[in-house]
A = this chain, B = another copy of it.
Amino acid sequence: MPQERPDQAWRIEESGYSPRRAEILGSKFLIANGSLGYRGTLEEHGKEALVACTLSGVYDRRGDAWREPVNAPNGLLVRLFEGRRPLSPAASKALRHTQGLDFRHGIHRRHTAFALARGNRLDYTVERFASLDQTKLLCLRAVLKAEKACVLTLHVGVDADVWDINGPHFGPARVTLSGGLLCVDAKTNEGTAIRVVEAVNGLAGPGRLRRMGKTFVREYTLRLAAGQELSFSKFAAVGTSKDTGKAPLAAAKALCLGAARKGYPAALAATKAAWERRWKASDVVIEGDPEGQKALRYSIYQLLSIAPQSGAGASIPARGLSGQVYKGAIFWDTEMFMLPFFNHTQPELARNLVRYRVHTLPGARRKAASLGHRGAFYAWESQESGDEACTLFNITDVITQRPLRTYFADKQVHISADVAHGVWQYYLASGDESILLQGGAEVLAECARFFLSWSYLKPLKGRYEILDVTGPDEYHERVHNNAYSSAMARRAVTTALQALDLLKRRHPKAHAALVRRLKLAKDLPALNDLARRLYVPRPDPKTKVIEQFDGYRRLEDCDLKTLKGRLLDPREYLGGGQGLATTTKILKQADVVMMLNVLGSEYPDAVKKANWEYYEPRTEHGSSLSACVYALVAASIGRTEWAYRYFMKTATVDLSGDSKQYVGTLYIGGTHPAANGGAWMAAVLGFGGLSSDGRVLRLKPSLPRRWKSLSFRAVQRGQWVSVRLSHGKVRLEADRANSKPCPVAVGGRTRDLKPGEVLHA
């Protein structure tokens, strides 16, 4: 075992074993590398404990059930027996059991002390990680030490009996022993089936191949001497026909054999190095608040571990890589809650997320067309093709057990504006014009065109309106002139025109080709008109409150407690056709306040304050996306103590595991990457006051009292700046390696920070 003991600041751990808690720890202790996620379960666990190795961007559908991401066979299966007695805290009480995660390097550790026969004690320690260096590789090392000599049985193998929500997704697996490796080769159900393969090594000695149902192991007899450590490593290489074409198994075998040959320490060193590179750019240091520091770093760990490292075929699902919840689908969460972190600290990963939206443009076009619209209406729940994965009846009424018609899929039009916002924000932060040339401008044009198609002109009022939509507050469906949706739609149209203008100036040929191909010429005047005359609800002249949508102010002004008092069943959905919130002012999550967050520069502080105060007591925060938005807007108007409460709520969502795990019998647990991204945004964009329009990096810090300082790094158009903020002081340092001066603004004054230059303000 590696001897170093990770700093407590980078480590979370829980002692004892409880089967109920196991589901929450599965998410909390997740290891992942953007290509696969492996839940924080124990090595001996099976599907009953929700073991999952969830593959990014690989989906399958069985029958009429929802499509969902595929869980690969579990290649890290390790089981110990004394005689026939399985050694597991789930089977019998352990003398001691701890499980934890070193989130600096994404290493899962467990230690269990078992009472053996004849008063013997076994200390069993395992660490494992999903290599950030080799994203198809899972690595494990186990150490056993008994007080007295004993003989144990060890099973090392692959469990193809995987946990699925809507599975099984594999036909019969072909299992072979080849070159010392146990190989599984299976195919998914749907259409052009995907081959999913896995190769795992065994121990040095000869192991008997055993099959128990869909579980394939090699069995070894371990003879432990008293007080001596016995250790072994295991490598599992996963592959699919999607990444490695026709010979995925050969590739997996080569990967597994190579790792085994180089050994565990080499694999560990490589993953650590990769993690260190990431942390160098993305770490945020808070002095004076160990709890906040830890929660924020853990949040950053989650983001870094689940972002696809390559390709355009995947993005970050709403529950990361922690399982199949929410169909492994990509929501607006990615653009609006995660992308800012990547834009400011990991531009290459950000680019992958944007490329995913370019890649799925055809799906968005199909969705728009299916509803009689032009342009691109992005899927509310997007899988690998970008076709809509969200069903029209995606909630079951707990009282009648009937499916409820909801308007997520066909009315939440802001998704296309959110996608456009993401593309443009990435471009602004990176200056990467290639993304615009490689489909980004087309995405922008098609999203704008969708809003042209969706909007109506009200000649009497001389304005366009966005009607019949569902905004972020999903408890109020099918509303007119939703502030967030309309504001974002107008921004999307403006952005498309800006992008086309940019292309015209800098890449006239590409511009001409795009205009021709999309037959844009006729629409351009209409788009200009739309940008100029699209109505966005304005602050009331007296109260400064912006009405969330037409008629909101006439709804019942009922407080949350009263509303919940009316529930007949605690699991009742508050929205839908006749949910209790629908006829009241209670909102699910930040909506107007979300608009003030995203488009904050257009509104004075007084408007933000009035709306924060008006909507905050009326917000249920029924979504994990809500708290960070309230934190951000509060921080932006200097209400740091308000903001801190919401920051901590956001940053601890996956640590506390307080979020709902089940709705009825449906598992909805998992990680919350949007909240993780929200925690970073609250800290850096909120308290740090970082903003960038692509030209100037601005800072307007406003730290919570308990924080002594806040330090982070940020990049703008390739130029890195290290920032240290303390109460009343700002220290900026441009990287020596920067290629040109970076314009920065503190307290309203803009300066060019030359490479290596330090600015105190």
Residue numbers of A with Cβ under 8 A of B are 372, 374, 393, 397, 399-400, 402, 404-405, 452-453, 456-460, 465, 467-468, 478, 480, 526, 550, 566, 568, 576-580, 582-583
Q: Cβ of A400: which chain B residues have Cβ within 8 Å of it? A: 399, 568
CB distance from A456 to the nearest CB of B (A): 4
Q: Cβ of A467: which chain B residues have Cβ within 8 Å of it? A: 456, 467-468
Q: Quick one: which of B404, B468, B480, B582 contacts A405, CB cutoff 8 A?
A: B582
CB distance from A519 to the nearest CB of B (A): 13
16 residue pairs from A and B, CB less than 8 Å apart:
A397-B578, A399-B400, A400-B568, A402-B566, A402-B578, A402-B580, A405-B578, A453-B460, A456-B456, A456-B458, A457-B458, A457-B459, A467-B467, A468-B468, A576-B577, A577-B579
Please tell me if the beta carbons of B468 and A480 are within 8 angstroms of each other in the complex: yes
- With both beta carbons as reference points, the residue of chain B lying nearest to A530 in the complex is identified as B459
- With both beta carbons as reference points, the residue of chain B lying nearest to A568 in the complex is identified as B400
CB distance from A410 to the nearest CB of B (A): 9
* Copies of this chain held together in the complex: 2
- With both beta carbons as reference points, the residue of chain B lying nearest to A572 in the complex is identified as B400
Main secondary structure of the interface of A (DSSP, over half): loop
- With both beta carbons as reference points, the residue of chain B lying nearest to A374 in the complex is identified as B460
Q: Cβ of A583: which chain B residues have Cβ within 8 Å of it? A: 393, 405
Q: Cβ of A478: which chain B residues have Cβ within 8 Å of it? A: 478
Known: A405-B582, A457-B457, A577-B577. 8 other contacts (CB 8 A): A372-B550, A400-B568, A402-B578, A453-B460, A456-B458, A456-B467, A467-B467, A468-B480
CB distance from A47 to the nearest CB of B (A): 34
Question: Cα distance A335–B91 when bound, in Å?
Answer: 77
Q: Cβ of A468: which chain B residues have Cβ within 8 Å of it? A: 467-468, 480
Please tell me if the beta carbons of A460 and B452 are within 8 angstroms of each other in the complex: yes
- With both beta carbons as reference points, the residue of chain B lying nearest to A464 in the complex is identified as B459
Question: Cα distance A456–B458 when bound, in Å?
Answer: 5
Q: Cβ of A404: which chain B residues have Cβ within 8 Å of it? A: 578
Q: Cβ of A452: which chain B residues have Cβ within 8 Å of it? A: 460
Question: Cα distance A509–B452 when bound, in Å?
Answer: 45
CB distance from A479 to the nearest CB of B (A): 10
CB distance from A582 to the nearest CB of B (A): 7
Q: Cβ of A405: which chain B residues have Cβ within 8 Å of it? A: 578, 582-583
Q: Which 7 A-B pairs have the closest CB atoms?
A: A577-B577, A577-B578, A456-B456, A457-B457, A405-B583, A578-B578, A457-B459
- With both beta carbons as reference points, the residue of chain B lying nearest to A523 in the complex is identified as B460
CB distance from A84 to the nearest CB of B (A): 51
Question: Cα distance A374–B550 when bound, in Å?
Answer: 16
CB distance from A457 to the nearest CB of B (A): 4
Q: Quick one: which of B457, B550, B566, B582 contacts A456, CB cutoff 8 A?
A: B457
CB distance from A32 to the nearest CB of B (A): 39
Please tell me if the beta carbons of B456 and A465 are within 8 angstroms of each other in the complex: yes
Question: Cα distance A353–B452 when bound, in Å?
Answer: 45
From A404, A467, A566, A577, name the one whose CB has the most chain B CB atoms within 10 angstroms: A577
Q: Cβ of A526: which chain B residues have Cβ within 8 Å of it? A: 459-460
Q: Cβ of A579: which chain B residues have Cβ within 8 Å of it? A: 577
- With both beta carbons as reference points, the residue of chain B lying nearest to A577 in the complex is identified as B577
- With both beta carbons as reference points, the residue of chain B lying nearest to A397 in the complex is identified as B578
- With both beta carbons as reference points, the residue of chain B lying nearest to A452 in the complex is identified as B460
CB distance from A725 to the nearest CB of B (A): 47
Q: Cβ of A402: which chain B residues have Cβ within 8 Å of it? A: 566, 578, 580
Question: Cα distance A393–B580 when bound, in Å?
Answer: 13
Question: Cα distance A579–B405 when bound, in Å?
Answer: 10
Question: Cα distance A672–B566 when bound, in Å?
Answer: 37
Question: Cα distance A452–B461 when bound, in Å?
Answer: 11
Q: Cβ of A399: which chain B residues have Cβ within 8 Å of it? A: 399-400
Question: Cα distance A566–B400 when bound, in Å?
Answer: 10
From A372, A467, A578, A582, name the one whose CB has the most chain B CB atoms within 10 angstroms: A578
Question: Cα distance A568–B397 when bound, in Å?
Answer: 13
CB distance from A12 to the nearest CB of B (A): 43
CB distance from A377 to the nearest CB of B (A): 15
Q: Cβ of A456: which chain B residues have Cβ within 8 Å of it? A: 456-458, 465, 467
CB distance from A26 to the nearest CB of B (A): 34
CB distance from A564 to the nearest CB of B (A): 14
Q: Cβ of A374: which chain B residues have Cβ within 8 Å of it? A: 460
